[in-house]
Structure 1
Amino acid sequence: MPEPVNMELTACVVVFKPDRLTVIRTLKSLRQALDSLPPQLVKLTIVDNSPGNADHTWLQEVLGEFPCEIISGQGNVGFARANNLVLGNVGKYHLVLNPDVEMEADALEQALAFMRDNDDCALLTPQAFNPDGSKQYLCKRYPTLFDLFLRGFAPAWLKSSFRKRLDRYEMRDQPANAIAWDPPIVSGCFMLFRGEVFEKLQGFDSRYLLYFEDFDISLRTGEIARIAYVPSVRIVHEGGRAADKGLWHIWQFMRSAAIFFRQHSMKIF
Structure 2
Amino acid sequence: MNVTNVQQRNTDGFSISIVVYRPDAELLAGTLASLAVACGELRRERPELAVTVCLVDNGGLIDAQVDVDLLEEQGISYSVVSGHGNVGYGRGHNLAIERATSAYHLVLNPDVDLDPAALVEALTFFERHPDAGLLAPRIGDENGGLQYLCRRYPTLFDLFVRGFLPHGVQRYFRRRLSRYEMRDVINEREVVWDPPIVSGCFMLFRTDLLKRLAGFDPRYFLYFEDYDLSLRAHDVARIAYVPSVRVLHHGGGASRKGSAHLKMFAASAFKFFNRFGWKWL
- Give the TM-score band, short-chain normalised: over 0.9
Q: Structure 1 residue 146 and structure 2 residue 154: aligned? A: no
Aligned pair 1:44/2:53, yes or no?
Answer: yes
Q: Which residue in 1 is equivalent to 2:93?
A: 83
Deviation track 1:84-139 (CA, whole Å, cap 9, x = no partner) reads 00233321000000000011100000001101111110000000111111110121
Partner of 2:229: 217
Which residue of 2 is the match for residue 9 of structure 1?
Answer: 14
AA aligned opposite 1:42: V
Q: 1:155 to 1:7 in 2, by over 3 A?
A: same
5+ residue gaps, structure 2, are 1-8
Residue 60 (structure 1) shift:
3.2
Q: Rate the CA distance shift 1:118–1:40 in 2: closer, same or farther, 3 A.
A: closer
Q: 1:81 to 1:149 in 2, by over 3 A?
A: same
CA contact (8 A) 2:90 2:225 kept: yes
Q: 1:261 aligns to what?
A: 273
Give the structure 2 partner of residue 22 of structure 1: 27
1:61 CA displacement: 3.8
Alpha-carbon distance change, 30 to 144 in structure 1, aligned in 2, over 3 angstroms: same
Amino acid at match of 1:78: G
Aligned 8 A contact 2:148 2:186 in 1 = no
Confirm or deny: 8 A CA contact 1:123 1:191 kept in the other structure.
yes
Query: d(CA) in 1 for partners of 2:178 and 2:37?
Result: 34
Partner of 2:132: 121
| Alignment correspondent of 2:70 | 62
For the residues of structure 2 that align with 1:115 and 1:225, how far apart are their CA atoms?
12
Per-residue deviation, 1:5: 4.4
Shift of 1:55: 4.9
Structure 2 residue corresponding to 1:157, chosen from 168, 180, 199: 168
Which of structure 1's runs of 4+ aligned residues deviate more than 4 A? none
Computed over aligned residues only, the root mean square deviation of the Cα atoms, in angstroms, reads 1.7
Amino acid at match of 1:171: M
The 8 Å contact of residues 20 and 57 in structure 2, kept in 1 or not, is answered as yes
Change (3 A) 1:72 1:59: farther
Q: Decide whether the 8 Å contact of 1:39 with 1:67 is kept in 2.
A: no
Contact 1:7/1:43, CA 8 A, preserved across alignment: no
Distance 1:40 1:119 in 2: 18
Structure 1 residues 238 and 56: alpha-carbon distance in aligned structure 2, compared to 1, 3 A threshold = closer
When normalised by structure 1's length, the TM-score is 0.94
Deviation of 1:39 after TM superposition, in Å, equals 7.8
Query: Taking every aligned residue pair, what percent have the same amino acid on both sides?
Result: 47
Deviation at 1:59, TM superposition (A): 3.3
**How far 1:10 sits from its partner (Å)?**
0.4
Is the aligned partner of 1:34 residue 2:43? no
User: Which amino acid letter does the alignment assign opposite residue 51 of structure 2?
Assistant: V
TM-score (norm 2): 0.90
The answer to whether 1:174 aligns with 2:179 is: no
Q: Are 1:242 and 2:254 matched, yes or no?
A: yes
Alpha-carbon distance between aligned partners in 1 of 2:99 and 2:258, rounded to the nearest angstrom: 35
Counterpart check, 1:227 vs 2:236: no
Q: Residue type of the partner of 1:14?
A: V
